[in-house]
Each structure stands twice: as structure tokens, then as C-alpha cells.
Amino acid sequence: MNVVDTMQERLAALDPQRLEIIDDSARHAGHEGAKSGGGHYRLAIVSARFAGKGTLERHRLIYDALGNMMRREIHALSIKALAPEETD
């Protein structure tokens, strides 16, 4: 299983209505974090679990779901986390 698949599997715990993960690792080749094997990713996620929570709380839920991936497989993660009522 690749990193994106594993991320999707772990983030399923947040019951996302929408989940998009983009691997930007190739754009950061040669970057210090890329040398250690950690990738660069962009995440867009919509979940009812984010309703009534601020940005920091939402990010903590995501980091908790990803667990130890944040120390190894993921070097950088750009996050857009929305509650369903915040989408277009």
C-alpha cells in the first residue's frame, strides 16, 4: 500500500464526505525533508466531525488519525479542513 492509500485509510476514521490527497513530493525533490524519505502532501477534507471546531482542533484530529505517519512518511502536509456547511 502506498502512502496516499494509507493516509486515506487512516483518515476514514473522520468519516469524510470528501477527501482529496495530492502528492507534491516530486516538486520538492532535493528539499531537506525529502532526503529523509518524507513526502509533501496537500489534503482537502470535509467532515461533520469538524463542525464547531477551530482550525487547531481540526488539525489535531487529522494528525491523530495519521498517527506516526507524521514522523516518517509525511514531512509536510498542507491542510484544508472544512465542515459540510462551509463548502460551496
Q: pLDDT per residue over 29-67, tens digit each?
A: 655 545 556 789 999 999 999 999 999 999 999 999 999
CA distance 84 to 17: 8
pLDDT tier at 88, thresholds 50, 70, 90: low
The distance from CA 6 to its chain's CA centroid, rounded to whole angstroms, is 11
Fold of 3-86: GMP Synthetase; Chain A, domain 3 (3.30.300)
Task: Give the domain ranges of the chain.
Answer: 3-86
pLDDT in tens, 7-38: 999 999 999 999 999 999 877 565 554 555 67
What pTM was computed for the model?
A: 0.86
Identify which has the larger pLDDT, 30 or 71: 71
Q: Residues 16, 21, 42, CA angle at the centre, nearest 5°?
A: 115
Decide the pairing of beta strands 39-46 and 74-82: parallel
